[in-house]
Amino acid sequence: MPVNPIDALSIAQDLLRCPSVTPADAGALGVLERLLQAAGFDVHRVTFSEPGAADIDNLYARIGTSAPHLCFAGHTDVVPPGDVAAWSHGAFAGEVHDSQLYGRGAVDMKGGIACSVAAVLEYLAAHGGQPHDSGQGSISFLITGDEEDVAVNGTVKLLQWAAARGEKFDHCVLGEPSNVEALGDCIKIGRRGSLSGTLIVDGVQGHVAYPHRASNPVPDIAALIVALGNDPLDAGSDTFQPSNLEFTSVDVGNPATNVIPAQARARFNIRFNDQHSAESLQALIEQRVETACGNRIKARIDWLPSNAAAFVTKPGAFTDLVAAAIEQVTGRRPELNTGGGTSDARFITHYCPVIEFGLVGQTMHKIDERTPVADLATLTQIYRGVLERYFA
């Protein structure tokens, strides 16, 4: 079925005008549903629930029924805009000023989704409405509204739902803002894992004038913080930078100046590479705490559940294909990188090789989040080049 291509800027503006602050959808998935249905996609809206979490609407759309199957993934939920009065242009207005598209999600990652949809519509229009002139191949979109929050009713469950239907993906492009300085400088081929916990030191409350009748946990937790930071977790590898543990808060919950507190707590996060699992890291940190405590300090760790393990997509034919499409359009040969935070690629990697390539991430989550309009056109060209090579 022939389709009428729609430019990425128009799609991005329609998406930005939906205030889909996680977990709200605010019509964003409906924008994509209408476009993809008109292009001949089989579109499904799937809602997932979890006790203690918001119900989340998700979208899966596919055209074609055979391999090879290329999936474009992403999320339409966004972080809150912050002080809306501080924005130069409306956070949800989708306005263009000085050749820049402003709005929450312009970079992370409604702009990337708009480019992938525009590229696919252009590609289908040039190939009789099918992934390949022969009728072979499939293209799909896996879009969630639950990435910026707890990520329990989004991509992880949508992938399970798709697998139960017999869907099989050969490769996936996740349109997260992977580039650091300029479009084309970086492809994310993996991510470090994330593990969080709270270090708790128990003392004995008492009057500061009678310290012998109390046990102050503040010096003890300070000593443990130093001890845990003294020895590196590893030296990194050819693919990953070293793992790092960062303390993010220290609190004793004590408003008084003349009372020794009963307890001190310090929250921390570890970003770890593929030399560790969450379980092995917990054991390592607990052993280091036990050693540092000796027989005097009473300490323990409360761990938060982790659904973010380290992963890597090995360089090969698929990464070469994407890099070639990027280089042809931008003139840059992208670096293959595993830095940055977590993303839904950590779930997708269990189903197929996945890379992340989207817009430049310098303004994501900031006031006046924005992207050059020219970058939208360029990214659309790159995605179109990926499609042409993939189904060649």
pLDDT digits (tens, 9 = 90+) for 39-71: 999 999 999 999 888 999 999 999 999 999 999
Active-site residue (options: 33, 108, 146, 147)? 147
Q: Which amino acid is at 57?
A: D
| pLDDT tier at 1, thresholds 50, 70, 90 | very low
Q: What are the distances in angstroms from CA 72 to CA 139, 170, 183, 280, 346? A: 8, 11, 18, 33, 15
Q: Mean pLDDT in the chain? A: 95
149 is catalytic: no
Model pLDDT, residue 134 = 79
**Domains of the chain, residue spans:** 8-191+310-390, 193-303
**pLDDT at 303 exceeding the cut of 50:** yes
* Residues 6 or more apart whose Cβ sits within 8 Å of residue 211: 260
* Beta-sheet pairing, 100-102 with 96-97: antiparallel
User: What is the C-alpha separation between 286 and 82, in angstroms, rounded?
Assistant: 37
**Dihedral sign (CA 330, 372, 360, 21):** negative
Task: Tell me the whole-structure pTM to 2 decimals.
Answer: 0.89
Residue 149 has pLDDT above 50, yes or no: yes
Orientation of helix 8-16 relative to helix 28-38, angle to 10°: 150
Please write the tens of the pLDDT for every residue from 176-216: 999 999 999 999 999 999 999 999 999 999 999 999 999 99
8 A C-beta contact, residue 389 and residue 324: yes
Q: Determine contact, residues 179/371, Cβ cutoff 8 Å.
A: no
In the CATH scheme, what is the code of domain 8-191+310-390? 3.40.630.10
Residue 4 pLDDT greater than 70, yes or no: no
What does the pLDDT look like over 317-341, one tens digit per residue?
999 999 999 999 999 999 999 988 8
193-303 has which CATH code?
3.30.70.360
Answer yes or no: is pLDDT of 2 > 50.
Answer: no
Is 42 a known active-site residue? no
The catalytically annotated residue of 25, 77, 176, 344 is 77
